[in-house]
A and B are shown apart, each in its own frame.
Chain A
Amino acid sequence: MDTSVGKFAIRVNDLVVGFGHRVILDHLSLDVRRGEILGLVGASGGGKSVLMRTIIGLIPRRSGGIEVMGARIGSPHDVGTQRAAGKWGILFQQGALFSSLTARQNIQFPLRENLVLSSALLDEIATAKLEMVGLTPEDGDKFPSELSGGMTKRVALARALALDPAIVFLDEPTSGLDPIAAGDFDALIKTLQKTLGLTVFMVTHDLASLNTVCDRVAALADGNIVAIGPMRELLQSDHPWVRAYFHGKRSLMLQPKAS
């Protein structure tokens, strides 16, 4: 086995993705280290979700290579992809909860499919996950259509974390949460990273999350990663888009100390 497999959780190499005539990701390369929390920022409609969905094999690519935990990713039905799928949990931007299952059943679904365990333990684990993401046990009996936007996010997060996967992909996990809940969420991710050695690939616009939990931040602009590194370095970056993103009026309001 080659050593890079041990060091990197996700390797994206020279990736090209497009729809019709439009190229969204243009020869993009990105490595995510094992056990780190990587934040991905970029303009709305810039292709962050597309990048995430391509990495997990949902969108076909024109060229380039993707490896997750050493497994090459192809279409969703490939053996390699399926093997990798056992090791990841995914939070989609719209939640993507199963609408005909209750919140609790949604969380239990991956457990039930992958493990053999008693139904009492199944219930306890589901309730534990619900509480860990800040919901009450009573919320577990609600159907997705009865949940608020932020609650949907949290249930989806609980489902993504149900199996304590090695990698989680989170698409805007804190959007729609109040700042307190978002802070709890950040703390939870940090705890899990520390305990489980979790690798987190997180698309976010939340500057606080970027500041507090992300080990590194990658900026996606014009279909490519234009800057990557710890938040400190990104603040120093002189790429015009990155400057505009972190030093715009709105961003400065939130981080008066950042130079």
Chain B
Amino acid sequence: MATEPQLAVTSRGDALELRPDGFWIAANVTVLEALADAAAPQVERAKSLKMDMSGLSELDTLGAWLLEKLSRQIAGHPAEIVGVSENYAGLIEEVRHVNRHNLPPPKARNPVIAKVEEVGRAAWNSREDVAVFLQMLGSLCVALLGIIRKPRSLRLTSLVYQLYRVGWQAIPIILLITFLIGAIIAQQGFFHFRKFGADSYVVDMVGILVLRELGVLIVAIMVAGRSGSAYTAELGSMKMREEIDALSTMGLDPVVVLILPRVLALVLALPILTFIGSMAALYGGGLVAWFYGGMGPSIFIARLHDAVSVTHFQVGMIKAPFMALVIGIVACSEGLRVKGSAESLGKQTTTSVVKSIFLVIVLDGLFAVFFASIGM
């Protein structure tokens, strides 16, 4: 919209005169910067500088700064500024004081060394992760002991509400996913086992796999993604708005008030969800066996009866509360590590989900070794 700004440069010997003209405002910045850069070398060479501001039609902070910057280029005595209209005097005076301190330039670093350092630090910092985990486990134990001594201090309302959220509301999606997984395993089993004529072993595979491993693992991963991330985001945003600090200053322990009910709700809900999920998976497997494998429900149930024992079921169920504990602790401690920014909230939520899924799988592996060695 504004007409092109100009910068007339006239030199008489060592004396240089600059005459800015037109609209020196932010909207024209690209032109202005080019003009100022073009004039800069001449200004540097000059002995004295005179700036005639009378041609300016409009000036704003950016324009004023560009002119001020030009006038600072000169080494000798300060520039003489004339023709300043009364309106602009204040602004020109204002920019005279800014940018006087040079910021120390950021240190240039060798990218390879920086990368190595980053990796090293990350590895070293993983110690801290272990410490944070153990610390949270410890405070939860202390809080739990407190509740055993004084059962009335349990936040029952909060616990029931969290159970509703992480347990009851999760049922539909868990039913759907585990049902599909059970069906897919059975279908694959029939498809491949049929080549060896080993159709009937599909039931063994589905039963053992679902009850021992897959049921609990799928449910735990679902819960980590669904409820763990919610815990981290909730606690994180409370941390950001200083709500957790407010709670502590009122003499309340955030672990008792916020974290224990959440973790407890997970520990109670996950075995139930695992049970429901395993049943849905078996149901899905049974339906596929019936319609795809041609094995009627009565035969399926009879084979299942032979193939799986209570031990398999127990193995699955024993793992559930431990996985819940890991998910809960990781989610809550990541939530408390959120710093002030929205970005860190997102980062911590991602970390929480990734870390808890990883730990759930590691834990599952450890349990496999353990159960194998005690012969379960």
Provide the A87-113 mask, 1 if CB < 8 A to any CB of B, else 0: 000000000001110000000000100
**Residue in B69, B341, B342 with the greatest tally of chain A CB atoms within 10 Å:** B341
Interchain CB contact (< 8 A) of A124 among B30, B88, B91, B99: B99
Bound CA span A188–B94, Å? 9
B-chain residues with CB within 8 Å of residue A180 when the two chains form the complex: none
Whether B29 lies near A116 (C-beta < 8 A) is: yes
Q: On chain A, which size bracket covers the interface?
A: 20 to 34
Interchain CB contact (< 8 A) of A164 among B61, B97, B240, B339: B61
**SS of B interface (majority):** helix
Interchain CB contact (< 8 A) of A129 among B61, B90, B103: B61
- Asked if A252 is at the interface of the complex by the 8 Å CB criterion, the answer is no
- Asked if A143 is at the interface of the complex by the 8 Å CB criterion, the answer is yes
Number of residue pairs spanning A and B whose beta carbons lie under 8 angstroms apart: 84
**SS of A interface (majority):** helix
Whether B65 lies near A191 (C-beta < 8 A) is: no
Task: Decide yes or no: A100 and B343 within 8 Å by CB, A132-B94, A192-B91, A195-B60 being known contacts.
Answer: yes
A-chain residues with CB within 8 Å of residue B344 when the two chains form the complex: 100
Whether A144 lies near B99 (C-beta < 8 A) is: no
A-chain residues with CB within 8 Å of residue B94 when the two chains form the complex: 132, 188, 191
Bound CA span A98–B341, Å? 8
- Enumerate B319-350 residues with CB–CB distance to A below 8 Å: 339-344
Whether B341 lies near A144 (C-beta < 8 A) is: yes
Whether A191 lies near B91 (C-beta < 8 A) is: yes
Whether A99 lies near B342 (C-beta < 8 A) is: yes
Whether A131 lies near B99 (C-beta < 8 A) is: yes
- Asked if B154 is at the interface of the complex by the 8 Å CB criterion, the answer is no
B-chain residues with CB within 8 Å of residue A99 when the two chains form the complex: 240, 340-343
Whether B340 lies near A143 (C-beta < 8 A) is: yes
B-chain residues with CB within 8 Å of residue A196 when the two chains form the complex: 60, 91
Would you give the shortest CB distance from A36 to chain B, in whole angstroms? 15
Task: Decide yes or no: A118 and B33 within 8 Å by CB, A99-B340, A131-B99, A195-B90 being known contacts.
Answer: yes
**19 extra interface residue pairs, beta carbon distance < 8 Å, beyond A143-B341, A145-B340, A163-B26:** A114-B26, A115-B27, A115-B29, A118-B33, A121-B33, A121-B66, A125-B65, A128-B61, A128-B65, A128-B95, A131-B97, A132-B95, A136-B101, A137-B103, A138-B103, A146-B340, A164-B26, A164-B62, A190-B90
A residues apposed to B, CB below 8 Å: 98-100, 111, 114-118, 121, 124-125, 127-129, 131-132, 136-138, 143-146, 161, 163-164, 188, 190-192, 194-196
